Each structure stands twice: as structure tokens, then as C-alpha cells.
Amino acid sequence: MTPERILLNVPCTDWEDALDKGAAPLLADKVIEESYVQAVKVNHREMPYMVIAKGIMLAHARPECGAHKIGLTLMTLATPIEFGNDLNDPVRLVITLATPDNKSHVKMLEALTNFLMEPELLEKFLSATTVDEAIGILKGDN
């Protein structure tokens, strides 16, 4: 994880704004096209299943929707946002994931899943105030 892919305590007005802000670093680095962000929104409108767990949104779409490389951003929200998933709202962490094919992202997703499945690590990450601190938590430094 590079520092510019971690966004902390970001103020967002609604879920669309949160998806835009989470995707911004990937757009800037040409990992994804704007069409990818739109595809994520369409997916989410159809079915809010990407709120994968309490407070966690895993924003992603198919590679052909405009993903060129693998990429991941982690964004914590300044205030929790309703995403329209009655079980897992409100969202506190928006993960934006891009993969150019069905395989490239497997290792990254595996590491991410292992991280998300540790509630203590996740809580620590959610309360991180500096990017250095957040990266340290991801690396398992503390």
C-alpha cells in the first residue's frame, strides 16, 4: 500500500460522493477509467450487496468496465454514511478494488480478507489518524 492510496477521515456527503472520493487516486493513476466508477454505482444501485460486512463497502466492478491494472484504496469516513444496506449500514470504511482480469488481484484480496477478518486490526485501522499509522497497522507493525 502506498500512502496516496490510503485516505483517512474523509468527509463525504452521501454514498456516491464516497465512491467518487475512494476511486479518485485510482483515476489519477490511470488504474481505472471514469466508466469503472459509474459501473460500481450501477452495481450498487441494483443491489447493495457490496456492503460486505458491518460498516465495510467493497466497491468493485468487472474488469471490462474500465480497469487497466490492479489497484486498491482504503478510505475511512469522517462520519459514517448510509449505503442502503439495512444489515451492514452505516459504512465506515470504503475499499475500492480494481483488477484487469479474473486472476491478478487474488493475492491482494487474500491479504485484504485476512486483514478484515481480524476485528481488532480493523478497529485500529478505523481509528488511525495518520497515514503512517494506518500503513503500520496494515503491515502488522503494532
**What are the catalytic residues?**
60
Provide the mask over 43-62, with x wherever binding to other proteins is found by CB under 8 A and - wherever it is not: x--xxxxx-xxx-x-x-xxx
Cβ proximity to other proteins, 25 vs 55, nearer residue: 55
* Cell output for 123: 478497529
Q: Which is nearer to other proteins, 100 or 136 (CB)?
A: 100
Residues 5-44 that bind other proteins (CB under 8 A): 43
CB 5 within 8 Å of CB 25:
yes
Closer residue to other proteins in complex, CB, 8/36 = 36
* Among the listed residues 48, 40, 43, the one whose alpha carbon sits nearest the alpha carbon of residue 24: 40
The x, y and z cell numbers of residue 97, run together, are 478494488
